[in-house]
Amino acid sequence: MVRFQLGGSYGKNLEMGDDTYKLRRKVIEIIYDANKIVRLPRINVIITERGTKEKINVLGIGSLVGLNIWIPKHTLKLSPLKIREVVYHEIVHTICKQAGHDEKCLLMKASVSNKELTRASLDKRLKEYLTGMRKY
C-alpha cells in the first residue's frame, strides 16, 4: 500500500467522538513514544475516512506546512508495528520538511515494508532522521 501521493483528496476528517478519539489515541501514543526518543514539537493528529477511489491505498500524510499528520482509519487496522512504521514515517515528513521518500530506507520508502520491522529498528531509524545522523 502506498503511504503518500501528491494531489487529490485524501478523505474527510472524522468528527471527534468516542470512536474517533480511540483511533486518534493510538496515533498519539506512538507520538509520545517517539518523543521519548527525540524531543518533538506538538503534532496534531487528524483521523480521516478513506480517500477517493484513486487514493484508497494512502496510509498517512505528514504535513509539509504546519505540524499535522492525517491517518485514515483503515490504517489503524494494520498490525501495531505497521501502524508505528506509518506514524514514524509521517513524523519524519512533518518535522524534516525536506525529507522525501528513500527506497533504500525501510522507514522512508514510499510504501510500507513487506517485512515486519522491529520496534528497535524503527526507533533507531527515527532517531537517525530526527537527529540529523541520516541525511535526506
Tell me the CATH number at 37. Answer: 3.30.2010.10
Give the chain's domain count. 1
| Residues contacting 116, CB < 8 A, separation 6+ | 79, 81, 82
Range of the domain at 105: 18-130
- Give a yes or no: residue 5 inside a domain: no
> pTM (2 decimals)?
0.85
The tens digit of pLDDT for each residue in 1-38 reads: 444 433 335 567 888 889 988 999 999 999 999 999 99
DSSP reduced 3-state for 104: coil
- Give a yes or no: residue 101 inside a domain: yes
- Give a yes or no: residue 10 inside a domain: no
The tens digit of pLDDT for each residue in 58-74 reads: 788 888 788 999 999 98
CB 93 within 8 A of CB 127: no
